[in-house]
Structure 1
Amino acid sequence: MGNRSIKWGIVGLGNIASQFASDLLLIENAELTAVASRDLTKAEEFGGKFNALRMYNSYDLLFEDSEVEIIYIATPHNSHAELSIKALENGKHVLCEKPMSLSYKDAERMIAASKKHNVFFMEAFWTRFIPSVQDLLQKIGNGIIGDVNYIKADFAFHGSETENKRLFNKELGGGALFDIGVYPLFLSYIVLGKPKEILAKAIKHKNDIDLQTSMILQYETAQSILHASIVSESDMKAIISGTKGRIELNAPWYVADGYSLFINEEKEVTFTLPTLGKGYSHEIIECQNCILNNEIESKLWSHQNCLDLSKIVEEIKIQVQLSF
């Protein structure tokens, strides 16, 4: 077994897929076997740029390609569930871009398909695998900042309706919560687990997507104050605060190249932990290791983790009355 090459397929060839494919090139035992877009010209352009062996103008053709082992799904949110399940039914491993689905029910169906067909499935929460996050979780686990009782995290930028149509498109699952709100929620979840209670408020667009959403997650002895916006900017730092000190993740925190540790208000030390490439490389390596070990889920971002986060997002979706 050892270090054999894993053969990848990519479905949906937008901006995120390009960044992902650049990182794929950095990994020795990863091979881009096939790409698919509904537009053949786009598939040929993308495939040429990233040395893919085959380019398809149909997702189904890629799912049927017997050489492809794992498929990275990077289409708009509204098609994640359907395409993931179809790929899993074809016996393919799947790495599905976040959010894995627009409803908890679909998330359950996706996990069930992975188990039923005994193939690997993971939501592409790349932040879970970057060195800075792995390192700080270990330190928090070792009690370096004491008991965590406060997290502050946001993800905000000023989006343009003309330039980023998908983001403002209700049919495609646009809006702040599903596109970027999942990141601060993810951070709270990996540090503190499932909240006891959630309070959320949103400001809506005339087409009913959320332009910005603010969230308070209430735990037994902790609170997280979280925010997502596609109409204004923030400093994009994240703070995790405990009884003995705090950690400040460098901006933009979701792909932080390091963090600062403060103990008793003294800046102890700055840790520098750069990512390989853009940072997608770390989740790619995780997927490959799982496949080589015949595991259908990652221990670091498990099926249950995917479902827990989906459930949290669903609760907020209901509170702020989003429907897709």
Structure 2
Amino acid sequence: MEKRKIKWGIIGLGNIASQFASDLLVLQDAELTAVASRDFSKGQQFAEKFNAFKVYDSYDLIFADLEVEIIYIATPHNSHAELSIKALENGKHVLCEKPMALSYQDAVRIVEASKKHNRFFMEAFWTRFIPSIQDVLQKVNKGVIGDVNYINADFAFYGSETENKRLFDKKLGGGALFDIGVYPLFLSYILLGNPKEILAKAVMHKNEVDLQTSIILQYESAQAVLHASIVSDSDMKASISGTEGRIHLNSPWYIADGYSLFENGAKEAVFSLSYLGKGYAHEAIECHDCIRNNQIESELWSHQNSLDLSKIVEEIKTQIKLSFLF
């Protein structure tokens, strides 16, 4: 029996939205019903490229469209919280790009709105739904590498102040921590949970955003050493070490197409797991399943998961003296 199509709307029509929209085309049970941009011509071009039926030059208009079931929010970070809440208030389900908010307080407000209006909300941590990550998590939970006692992960690239102005703009929630630092933090969190102690140091830009941030998460009997940078490059591999072996996720680890497993006393075992489209399709499938099951949150990346991660980021933000208040 063919599943009914879930009708999507997209706001914030940049690069990530383009990749997400291309993945909706891969899914037979997805329809891009409408897109919205304050630049109407940009919206028209986007709609034409990705087969959207309607174009709006106002976010309020797409929120009011009764056909649209779920809104994908891919605007700059500083607008995520208010737009998510407004969409939920208008009866829409929401998939919001990470980070869902620039403060823990705003993250709580979003979750409260989801519960109040009985609408699905998920932070768009696409990495959580990538087959390699799913498989690694299952192996770790089964004890294949014993007790995890060390995680090493980073996310780094050369950002250009002329080409990537958003990254260096405090008003837009720029900086390494919120843009990419959340990825290695996410990996440590899904494997080890909430840390007992957090240590963070950053190199700051004259614009008062962090150019690079290094973090140690201290657990009862484990540590995670993590790094994020928008001014240097890395091989972007991730390693998970345990008492009986270790796992190396292929580069770039956050969208790994496989991993290597080293069990103590055994040779390397290599696993290859492809993903649909550009990798965003998997989180969209999760949204579809949750909406059809009348869930307001995902069991794989729940409201509490997002709140926990937001609280970790909030502590790091405080330690490195990063503030988005004006």
Q: Could you state the TM-score of these two structures normalised by the residue count of structure 1? A: 0.99
Q: Does 1:37 align with 2:37?
A: yes
Change (3 A) 1:113 1:147: same
- C-alpha displacement at 1:267, in angstroms? 3.5
Q: Distance in 1 between matches of 2:121 and 2:267?
A: 40
Structure 1 counterpart of 2:117, which letter? Answer: H
- 1:51-105 Cα deviation digits (max 9, x unpaired): 0000001000000000000000000000000000000000000000000000000
- C-alpha displacement at 1:271, in angstroms? 0.5
- For the residue of structure 1 that corresponds to 2:170, the secondary structure is coil
Q: Distance in 2 between matches of 1:67 and 1:198?
A: 45
Question: Which segments of 5 or more consecutive residues in structure 1 lack a partner in the other structure?
Answer: none
Structure 1 counterpart of 2:83, which letter? Answer: L
User: Is the CA contact 1:24–1:284 (under 8 Å) kept in the aligned structure 2?
Assistant: yes
Look up the match of 1:295. Answer: 295
Look up the match of 2:104. Answer: 104
- For the residue of structure 1 that corresponds to 2:171, the secondary structure is coil
- C-alpha displacement at 1:268, in angstroms? 3.0
Q: Distance in 1 between matches of 2:139 and 2:62?
A: 42
Look up the match of 2:307. Answer: 307
Q: Distance in 2 between matches of 1:84 and 1:282?
A: 21
1:9-158 aligned at under 5 Å gives the runs 9-158=9-158
Change (3 A) 1:167 1:265: farther
Runs of 4+ in 1 over 2 A off after TM superposition: 265-268
Structure 2 counterpart of 1:136, which letter? Answer: V
Look up the match of 2:238. Answer: 238
- For the residue of structure 2 that corresponds to 1:216, the secondary structure is strand
Q: Distance in 1 between matches of 2:44 and 2:238?
A: 40
- C-alpha displacement at 1:264, in angstroms? 1.6
Look up the match of 1:226. Answer: 226
- For the residue of structure 1 that corresponds to 2:152, the secondary structure is strand
- For the residue of structure 2 that corresponds to 1:239, the secondary structure is strand
- 1:96-155 Cα deviation digits (max 9, x unpaired): 000000000000000000000000000000000000000010000100000000000000
User: Is the CA contact 1:260–1:267 (under 8 Å) kept in the aligned structure 2?
Assistant: no
Q: Distance in 1 between matches of 2:50 and 2:2?
A: 25
Q: Distance in 2 between matches of 1:157 and 1:38?
A: 30
Question: Which segments of 5 or more consecutive residues in structure 2 lack a partner in the other structure?
Answer: none
Q: Distance in 2 between matches of 1:19 and 1:265?
A: 42
Q: Distance in 1 between matches of 2:104 and 2:63?
A: 25
Q: Distance in 2 between matches of 1:219 and 1:149?
A: 9
Structure 1 counterpart of 2:35, which letter? Answer: V
- 1:145-195 Cα deviation digits (max 9, x unpaired): 000000000000011101101011110000000000000000000000000
Look up the match of 1:189. Answer: 189
RMSD: 0.9
Look up the match of 1:250. Answer: 250
